[in-house]
């Protein structure tokens, strides 16, 4: 089957909310001594609002990922998460973010296994030949545990920041129930799950092996995932950073159950599930590395096999503190971080222009701007944060924006010139550095 041919994408440009204009004005002043970085921030910080966001008549918000006309659950959250701290007193921003949460709710209830959706039931698909249960609403149906976790992350962060409650509808609670049931079912994937996925395009990373069922896994208490946050198939289907993210999401769902819906039975169920997943991570997810000591594996099957790597996408091992699972000073995380930023990680690259983490999703030797941004966000020292910002500033290929991957020896060779998630994550790093007073 032929892959869908991307149409020309024309999204209406939204007027920038006043709080976002104020951020840009403050950054312009504080970055006046670094004109290139000033330009990068001015381009990247509002990029999601200016190029990928559409307010719909039903009160929801549709956010495309950039150069693909679909809304990824994961990407759309990370595209707007840096706006949440400014939403408490900005009604325009509340309309945008609150509308996205409402649309996420509709999408998850449509198909909790899908990772990307269409604006309408137009039957557009990334690949028309995918062997799985498709819907006209679904752009792609790769089950990635992080997709559902990101939906919870945005709703919880927005609720905490703004105290808004209008999105806590009966459908929202039904979505929480749907996610919980799916997580429990995928603890026993082979025995209980209806989910299968194969794509007959000759690309191994796009299909799940064993007829779409996946390679065998042992019961661990963790949740099975078909694909990574890169949209590549898992080697071993217990993705450790994804399960860490699920633990955090289950804790946030407990807040909803206790303080919003006052459902103590649901609260107890969520707590028990959180403890099962967390126990599985601690029991099966740690590998004793001969050089770095105990580190978190990227994936395991529960039978003693491990995938030792880190990927540029979030959630990854580098992003564990960003997700909220552990603090930066956790000793196993520190060991894992040193591993991820070493040649022992098969997707760590050093070149003439940069060094950092890439992904099997892009060619060998390509470093991802997102990985550099996450390295800076999770860095302990001022020196490392500034070094990463310098590297990001120097590798934009004079485009004024971040990209997906770029060649470590030549940043002018890159993938995806319009990738809003990367722009947003970079903006988070720079804004945090400005607030910390280190820029």
What would the pLDDT profile of 148-166 be if each residue is shown by its tens digit? 999 999 999 999 999 999 9
Domains observed in the chain: 18-436 (1.50.10.10)
Q: What percent of the chain has pLDDT over 70?
A: 98
Confidence of residue 201 (pLDDT cuts 50, 70, 90): confident
What would the pLDDT profile of 76-99 be if each residue is shown by its tens digit? 999 999 999 999 999 999 999 999
* Sequential DSSP letters for 343-406: TTSTTEEE-SS-EEE--TTS-TTEEEHHHHHHHHHT-SSHHHHHHHHHHHHHTSTTSSS--SEE
Single out the residue of 152, 212, 158, 204 nearest to residue 177, CA to CA: 152
- pLDDT confidence of residue 396: 97
Structure tokens at 116: 């990307």
Give the rounded distance of the alpha carbon of 294 from its chain centre. Answer: 25
Single out the residue of 265, 271, 248 nearest to residue 152, CA to CA: 248
Question: Is residue 46 within 8 Å of residue 53, measured between CB atoms?
Answer: no
What average pLDDT does range 396-402 have in this prediction? Answer: 97
Show Cβ contacts of residue 308 under 8 Å, excluding neighbours closer than 6 positions: 287, 289, 295, 297, 298, 339, 344, 345
pLDDT value at 251 more than 80: yes
Residue 70: phi and psi, rounded to 5, are -135, 160
Single out the residue of 87, 107, 74, 273 nearest to residue 174, CA to CA: 107
Confidence of residue 8 (pLDDT cuts 50, 70, 90): low
- pLDDT confidence of residue 13: 76
The percent helix, strand, coil of the chain (3-state, each to 5) is 45, 10, 45
Single out the residue of 42, 107, 28, 113 nearest to residue 70, CA to CA: 107
Given the DSSP bridges, would you call strands 71-72 and 61-63 parallel, antiparallel or unpaired?
A: unpaired
How much is the pTM? 0.96
Question: Is residue 46 within 8 Å of residue 54, measured between CB atoms?
Answer: no
> Alpha-carbon Rg of the chain, whole angstroms?
21
What would the pLDDT profile of 46-85 be if each residue is shown by its tens digit? 999 999 999 999 999 999 999 899 999 999 999 999 999 9
Q: Which residue has the tokens 């946050």?
A: 229
Give the rounded distance of the alpha carbon of 35 from its chain centre. Answer: 30
At 439, is the secondary structure helix, strand, or coil? Answer: coil
Question: Is residue 127 within 8 Å of residue 4, measured between CB atoms?
Answer: yes
What would the pLDDT profile of 95-147 be if each residue is shown by its tens digit? 999 999 999 999 999 999 999 999 999 999 999 889 999 999 999 999 999 99
Question: Is residue 176 within 8 Å of residue 155, measured between CB atoms?
Answer: no
Single out the residue of 339, 353, 258 nearest to residue 297, CA to CA: 339
What would the pLDDT profile of 289-318 be if each residue is shown by its tens digit? 999 999 999 999 999 999 999 999 999 999
Confidence of residue 1 (pLDDT cuts 50, 70, 90): very low
């Amino acid at each position: 089957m032929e892959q869908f041919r991307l149409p020309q994408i024309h999204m209406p440009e939204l007027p920038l909310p006043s709080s976002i204009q104020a951020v840009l004005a403050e950054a312009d002043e504080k970055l006046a001594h670094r004109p290139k970085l000033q330009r990068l921030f001015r381009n990247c910080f509002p990029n999601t609002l200016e190029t990928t966001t559409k307010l719909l008549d039903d009160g929801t918000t549709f956010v495309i990922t950039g150069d693909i006309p679909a809304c990824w659950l994961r990407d759309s959250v990370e595209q707007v998460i840096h706006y949440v701290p400014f939403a408490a007193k900005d009604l325009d921003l509340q309309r945008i973010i609150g509308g996205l949460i409402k649309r996420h709710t509709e999408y998850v209830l449509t198909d909790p296994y899908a990772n990307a959706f269409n604006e309408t039931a137009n039957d557009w698909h990334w690949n028309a030949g995918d062997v799985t249960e498709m819907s006209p609403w679904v752009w792609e149906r790769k089950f990635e545990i992080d997709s559902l976790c990101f939906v919870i992350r945005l709703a919880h962060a927005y609720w905490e920041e703004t105290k808004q409650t209008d999105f806590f509808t009966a459908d929202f609670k039904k979505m929480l129930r749907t996610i919980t049931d799916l997580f429990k079912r995928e603890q026993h994937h082979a025995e209980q799950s209806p989910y299968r996925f194969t794509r007959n395009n000759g690309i191994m990373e796009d299909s799940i092996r064993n007829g779409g069922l996946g390679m065998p896994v042992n019961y661990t208490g963790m949740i099975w995932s078909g694909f990574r946050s890169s949209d590549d198939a898992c080697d071993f289907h217990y993705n450790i950073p994804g399960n860490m993210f699920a633990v955090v999401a289950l804790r946030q769902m407990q807040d909803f159950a206790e303080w919003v819906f006052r459902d103590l039975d649901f609260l107890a169920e969520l707590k028990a599930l959180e403890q099962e997943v967390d126990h599985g991570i601690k029991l099966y997810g740690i590998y004793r590395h001969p050089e770095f000591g105990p580190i978190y594996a990227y994936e395991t099957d529960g039978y003693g096999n491990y995938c030792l790597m880190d990927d540029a996408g979030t959630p990854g091992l580098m992003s564990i503190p960003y997700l909220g699972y552990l603090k930066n000073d956790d000793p196993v995380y520190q060991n894992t971080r040193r591993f991820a930023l070493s040649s022992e990680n098969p997707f760590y690259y050093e070149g003439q222009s940069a060094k950092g983490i890439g992904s099997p999703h892009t060619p060998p030797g390509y470093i991802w701007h997102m990985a550099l941004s996450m390295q800076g966000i999770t860095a302990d020292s001022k020196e490392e944060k500034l070094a990463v910002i310098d590297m990001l500033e120097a590798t934009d290929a004079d485009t004024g924006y971040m990209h997906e991957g770029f060649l470590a020896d030549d940043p002018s060779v890159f993938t995806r010139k319009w990738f809003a998630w990367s722009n947003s994550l970079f903006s988070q790093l720079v804004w945090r550095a400005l607030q910390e007073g280190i820029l």
